[in-house]
Amino acid sequence: MTSPPFAEELVALLPRLRRFARSLCGDAALADDLVQLACERALKARDLYEPGTRLDAWTFRILRNVWLDGIRKRRSEGATEPIDDAFDLAGEDGRHVAHASLAAGAVAEAMGRLADEHRRVLTLVCVEEMSYREAAEAIGAPIGTVMSRLSRARLALARQLGLADGETLLE
């Protein structure tokens, strides 16, 4: 049995790429743009892909690099906050919505301050729901390294958010 063509495999990865991109940036429109750019790069570099290796790990790495390129660009241009991100839902408890929004922003900001290898592992395991083995293959590291980085990432994130052991952000 032959493997599906490269483009078909890439299309099958789109939902996972979107989830990963959304976990990186927290914005659906920006995540779609990131996925589009990553797919463009993957298609342009398809000759560099080694058949028989994990296409998902290769494309996740491309997506991560696209995201990092965007971060570097934004840092050099200066940060902006879109006003359209504000919640305006009838019937919602404004305090809860505001607190949840602040908490999400705090988590996103804290994740942005994590070391790249910690943020990547945290996103792959906790958001993308990859197993330790899958995450290890995606980043090209041993499972023990994934477990260690994940543990350090969780501790660093909790420390940055000022959480005590066992405390959650929305308590």
Per-residue pLDDT at 110: 82
Q: Which CATH entry fits the domain spanning 92-171: 3.30.450.20, 3.50.50.60, 1.10.10.10, 3.40.50.300?
A: 1.10.10.10
Q: What is the largest CA-CA distance in the chain?
A: 57
Tokens of 154: 């969780």
Task: Give tens-digit pLDDT for 95-131.
Answer: 655 665 666 677 778 888 888 888 889 888 888 888 9
Q: Which CATH architecture has domain 1-78?
A: Orthogonal Bundle (1.10)
In 3-state terms the chain splits into helix, strand, coil percentages (rounded to 5) of 75, 0, 25
Taking the domains of the chain in order of start, what are their residue ranges?
1-78, 92-171
Spatial separation of the C-alpha atoms in residues 20 and 4, rounded to whole Å: 23
Residue 170: predicted pLDDT: 42
